[in-house]
Structures are given as C-alpha cells and as structure tokens.
Structure 1
Amino acid sequence: MTMMSRRASLLLPMGLAGLVAACATEPMPLPPADPTGKADPQMRALLESLQALNPKPIETLSAEEARRQPGMADAVKHRLRAQGLPVAPRPLPVVRDLEIPGNAGPLMARLYSPVEPPRAGQPPRALLPLIVYYHGGGFVIADLDTYDASARALAAEAQAVVLSVHYRQAPENKFPSAHDDAYTSYIWAVQNAAQLGADLSRVAVVGESAGGNLAITTAMSAREARAPLPVAMGLIYPVAGTDMTTPSYRENAMAKPLNAAMMRWFVEKYTSGPAELQDPRLNVYGRAELRGLPKAVIVTAEIDPLRSDGMMLADKLRAAGVQVVAQDYPGVTHEFFGADPQLLARAGEAQRFMAGELRSAFALPAPTIVPPQPPRRPVPRG
C-alpha cells in the first residue's frame, strides 16, 4: 500500500480539489525583474551615476524627505563631472525668475527666451511662439530647477519663449490643486503674452510625466471654458490614466528612476480617495472627452511604467479625431528627455523631435476649435 504524504493527508478534508492543488507543479510567480538590462549603454551609465548618489526609495519616505532625494538631473551632473565635461546649464540669452498670480497665492515661474530683448531705442522684435511648460514629479516632488534642462532645450530647439510654471504640490495640497494652478497659469500666460515677448496666437502647452497630465487637462479646461486654445500639446511620458495593471506597469514595475511603487505613493499623496481616480483629469484615456483638442505630440520611453499610458492616450486621441504624432524611444527610461545630449543621444533626438513638431504647429494658422456639445436629450411629446 502506498503511503500518503503528510501534506496530502492534511488536505483530505478539503476534498479532491485541495489535493490536486497541492500536487500541482505550477511554479510560484516570481517578482518582476529589474528591466534596467534593456537600457542602452548611455542610459545605463546615467542610471549607474544615479545609484552612486545613494537615493533612498521614495515610496518609503515622507514627501518632505522625498523632495531632498537626488534625481536624474543630479545624475546627469554627476556623469558630466566624471567625464570632465562642464556642468553649466545650456546658455540662453534670457533666463529669469518671476511670480505669477495663483489660486492661493503667487506661483513661482521661470521665463526662458532664445533671443535678447531689444535695447532702449531699438525697434521691438518680432513676437515669438510661447510654450507653457509643466514639470513632473508625481504632483508631489520636483521644482523649476529639477526640470530646468528640459525648458532650456525647448526654448533653444523650438525657438520659442518658455514659461516654466511651478504649482502647489501634495500632500499639502490635494487634487485638484495642481490642475487648477496649471490652468490659471496658462490663462495668465495668454493674457500677458505680449509682455513676455510672445504671440498669444501661437501658444503650446508641454509637460513631462505629471506635467504631461497637466498639459492635456489644461487644454481640456480651455476648450470647455471657450478660452484661447493652445495650438499643440507636448506630452512627454504623460500620466494619462489610473490603471496600474497595464503592460508597461507590469513589465517595468521595478524600473528606475520610476517604478510602480513610486506611482502608487504619488497617487496616495495627491488624491483623497478612490473615487477621484475616475475623475477625467486623472483617468484621461478612460473617462475624458478628447474631441476638439489640438495636435498632440507624444513621447514615450521603453523602460517606463507610463509607456502604456502614452500609447493608450495616443489611440484614444486618434479615435476622437485629434491629430497625433507619437514617438517611442527604445533603451531609455522615464526622465530621459531632459538629459544632456552629450551623455544621452536619445535625449537630443527626443528634444529635436518635440521641438520640430511644435514649430510645425506654430507655423500653421491657429485653428478654430469649438468645444464638443453634450448630446441633446429628446423632448417628450404631449
């Protein structure tokens, strides 16, 4: 008589199903792998520079502690020093800080211009296009300095005035504080375009990560309010939904510098409950009305939990009749866009791609776009 194993005998009360389950040979699921190995050599070198700065996992920290952690901008400077290259930012004729009115007090902003302002006695210069730029950081961390390189690259490559805007951050200021500030700053920029040396009929919104979300939702708000619309939206690996089970979230759950645990931490800090995750300003590709929006230029990165967000948003925009130009960059991670092109060739490619598409939009007549109207309800008869 064959002896039954002790484990199987203990499972007898559970019946045949329990016994079969105990004897199954299905392996236990393994934790997601670190996808860093897919990075190209230049990207890998930057990730190694970031690791050398010993950042702590943001998802284990308070917001205040997280804001002090080194990020990709610090890794770029570390790598430049290691290569014996200058760390000074890309030079521009005009870079100045200013404050603009906000919903709960002044907002910090920084103005970049690729041309010198006219001197006294000189005729006024032709007005340049304007880019209103929103930095990333999950609505919680980062500031104007963190994303300074991206704003400089856009000003230089697109030959446009860039107004980079800071906004209230969580958890001190919950949803929709950042969204409200983003729209308020856009309206201020349009109203004051001439003072900024810019043409109010050639305005684009651009953002990275959480800033990409702010860029598209600002355009949505302008459409609903019948305010002047931007001529284009630059959406760089945007936060476009709240589903964290997408293919890229699964494939890049352990990616660096952004991983799935960090995204859950950001969402927890910014929102006040699950119901807000279905707000169309956060769940853009799932719940937002996208008809009537201007041209979208979308950049995604292969090794990024947000890659699927950008791709799904592109599909939804196209289905809504919006012009979309999208480019996915292999071998690079979240935050690659603002890296120094001397260190990361893909960054230079993405900067030129975005700037070229924005220049094309600036060259066209500003479109007249009417906000979509809700369907009429049938009037009951009699």
Structure 2
Amino acid sequence: MAAEPHPDIQELLDQLAAMRVPDFSDLSVDGARSLITDLFTVDEDLLIEVDTVQDLEIPGPNGGIPVRVYRPGGSGPHPVVVYFHGGGWVIGNPETHGQGCRALCNAGDCVVVSVDYRLAPEHPFPAPVEDSYAATEWVTAHDDVLDVDTDRLVVAGDSAGGNLSAVVALLARERGGPDIAHQYLIYPVINHAFDTDSYVENAEGYFLTRASMEWFWDHYLETDIDGVNPLASPLRARDLSGLPPATVVTAGFDPLRDEGIAYAGRLEDAGVDVTHHHYEEMIHGFFGMLDEPDLPQARDAVATAGETIQKL
C-alpha cells in the first residue's frame, strides 16, 4: 500500500466528496442502482469502438439470462471471455461495465460475453452463481454460433464478478466442466469476513467502504451460514487444487485487497499457476476508469489482461 492514492485518484475522490455522493449503504436498493448507473454509464460518444455489439437472451435455470456480446474485427474463431460485472451482486449491469468489456475485447482480440445475471436481494445467493455457471456452459455449447475457440475460454469479472468467476471455476472442477483455460479475478470479493488489515485501513474514504461491503453481503446472503459456503466465499474452500490458471488483480486502497492477495497465495500453494498484479496507488473500481478519468493504470491493467488472453 502506497502512502497515499495516485494524484488522479485523489482528485476523483475529492470530486466525489465535493458532490456529496452518498455511500451505497445509506441508500435503498433502487437508489444504489440509480447511483451506479449515474456514475458508471459512459456517454455514447466516449464509448470504445468494437466491431459489433449484440444483445441476446440465453436459457437459464430460472428463465432467460440476458447477455451482451462484444466482437472484435477479423476472422475467428476468437478466444472467448465470459464476463461477470461487479456491484456486490446487488447493483450494476452490462451497461455500467460496458467500457471495460469493450476495451478487453480489443486488447485480447477476443469475444466478450457480458452476463446480466439475476441480482439480490430479489434473487439472493446462489441465484447469481447459478446464472453465471449456466451462461458459461451455454457459451461452451455454442462455439459455432459465437465463432469462438472454447479451448481458450476465460471467466473474468471485477469485484462481485471476480467472486463469481472464482466460483464458476470451482463449480466447473466439481461438475466436470466446462473446461476453463483461465480465471481472471479483478479485485475480487473472496470471503464473507471483515477481519483483514485492508478492511481497517481502507474502511472509508476510498469509494468502496466497509459499510458498503457489509450492505452488499447482507443483501446477497439470506443467512450468515451461507457465508461459509465456498460458493459464496471461495477462500473457505478446503481444496483449491486442479483449478485453472489464475490472474488476480488487487488495489492498494481497497477493502478487498488482502482477501484477494490471500486467495492468490492459496491458489499458488495448491499448485495453481497464479499471476498477481498489484496496483498500490489505485482504488476499487479503477479497471473501468478508461474515459473520465482516463487512468494510465487502467489502460495498463486492460492491456495486461489482453496479453494474457492472446497467449492462451
């Protein structure tokens, strides 16, 4: 952890404070959803261009699951990334996280399938997990429709989406598929606990707060007992061996920093090939900051992810 955030990040934090942007935990669910839409939906003229964008509805365990498919130019089959957006399983959608998906599509020369999984509290754990796994299965079964190479299948996501990516990798191991070539976990939620140093050091003042994370978990889980389930808290899995190679991205000024670092360590101890990228001056959410602000660190993180995908 650096002594202070990067100056561009501090400027953003000062702007949010001046605007008196409320903490998610101080809002209703609808209010929090409106806030993230206001903060993260990118104006159309600032959107990163990709070759095509297509909205589909695919079969799910409880009705259709909307997905948004981003395609690069050139002939396929391309690698494919099944992407799960962040937002504490309660807020967010492919629209709020579209800029990062667009950038990843270009950087990795890959098809990105962004999954609009069901949200809590209307659909608590394990509904988002079930949708995420079903979407991954659907992608592997429709390689011809998507013109993708499922031998180069990546599950990826930020925050709660990083949690879902890790959980889908666990489920795929337990259920005998689908085969996943890589799991890309961007400042993931990994454990239903608030006992790390980063939860103390970064409890407030750096956009994502401890209070917000408690609020998200309270809406996601119906009981605290669910929090010890590895499908909610992957760090609590007894055995992490046999999982796909992983990349874990963490940020210094993030309450989730230490659990991400801990998960990378446990994966490595279990014999999984792990790469850990730590951005010590960054805050939670920086990966998608590609327009206002346009962070070099975000561009670097996306480019690094693209290089990993292209090498599969």
Length-normalised TM-score, structure 2: 0.94
**Aligned partner (choices 272, 280, 284) of residue 230 of structure 2:** 280
Task: Verify: 1:246 aligned to 2:204, yes or no.
Answer: no
Q: How does 1:114-193 map to 2 (within 5 A)?
A: 114-115=72-73, 125-193=75-143
Which structure's relative contact order is higher, taking Cα pairs within 8 Å and 6+ residues apart?
2
Q: 1:241 to 1:142 in 2, by over 3 A?
A: same
- Identify unmatched segments of 5+ residues in structure 1: 1-34, 78-85, 117-124, 363-382
In the TM superposition, residue 242 of structure 1 has moved relative to its aligned partner by 1.4
Residue 66 of structure 1 aligns with which residue?
Answer: 32
**Aligned partner (choices 35, 39, 60) of residue 5 of structure 2:** 39
In the TM superposition, residue 286 of structure 1 has moved relative to its aligned partner by 2.4
In the TM superposition, residue 343 of structure 1 has moved relative to its aligned partner by 2.1
Cα contact 1:174–1:271 (8 A) shared by 2:
yes
Task: Verify: 1:103 aligned to 2:61, yes or no.
Answer: yes
Task: Verify: 1:357 aligned to 2:300, yes or no.
Answer: no
Residue 50 of structure 2 aligns with which residue?
Answer: 92
Which amino acid is the alignment partner of residue 105 of structure 1? G
Cα contact 2:156–2:183 (8 A) shared by 1:
yes
Query: Following the alignment from structure 1 to structure 2, what is the Cα–Cα distance between the partners of residues 324 and 271?
Result: 29
Q: 1:229 to 1:39 in 2, by over 3 A?
A: same
Task: Verify: 1:299 aligned to 2:299, yes or no.
Answer: no
How many pairs are equivalent? 311
Deviates more, 1:37-46 or 1:317-326: 37-46
Q: Which has the higher strand share?
A: 2
In the TM superposition, residue 144 of structure 1 has moved relative to its aligned partner by 0.7
Task: Verify: 1:348 aligned to 2:296, yes or no.
Answer: no
Cα offsets for 1:287-327 (capped at 9, x unmatched): 34211011101110111000011100001000110000011
Query: Following the alignment from structure 1 to structure 2, what is the Cα–Cα distance between the partners of residues 225 and 239?
Result: 23
Q: How does 1:4-83 map to 2 (within 5 A)?
A: 38-51=4-17, 53-70=19-36, 73-74=39-40
> The residue matched to 1:133 in structure 2 has which SS?
strand
Q: How does 1:303-322 map to 2 (within 5 A)?
A: 303-322=253-272
Cα contact 1:50–1:72 (8 A) shared by 2:
no
> The residue matched to 2:169 in structure 1 has which SS?
helix
RMSD: 2.0
- Identify unmatched segments of 5+ residues in structure 2: none
Q: 1:339 to 1:356 in 2, by over 3 A?
A: same
Query: Following the alignment from structure 1 to structure 2, what is the Cα–Cα distance between the partners of residues 53 and 196?
Result: 43
Cα offsets for 1:142-197 (capped at 9, x unmatched): 11111001111110001000000011111111110000100000000110122111
Query: Following the alignment from structure 1 to structure 2, what is the Cα–Cα distance between the partners of residues 109 and 191?
Result: 15
Query: Following the alignment from structure 2 to structure 1, what is the Cα–Cα distance between the partners of residues 114 and 94?
Result: 7
Query: Following the alignment from structure 1 to structure 2, what is the Cα–Cα distance between the partners of residues 162 and 311?
Result: 26
Cα contact 2:53–2:68 (8 A) shared by 1:
yes
Length-normalised TM-score, structure 1: 0.77
**Aligned partner (choices 220, 240, 244) of residue 270 of structure 1:** 220
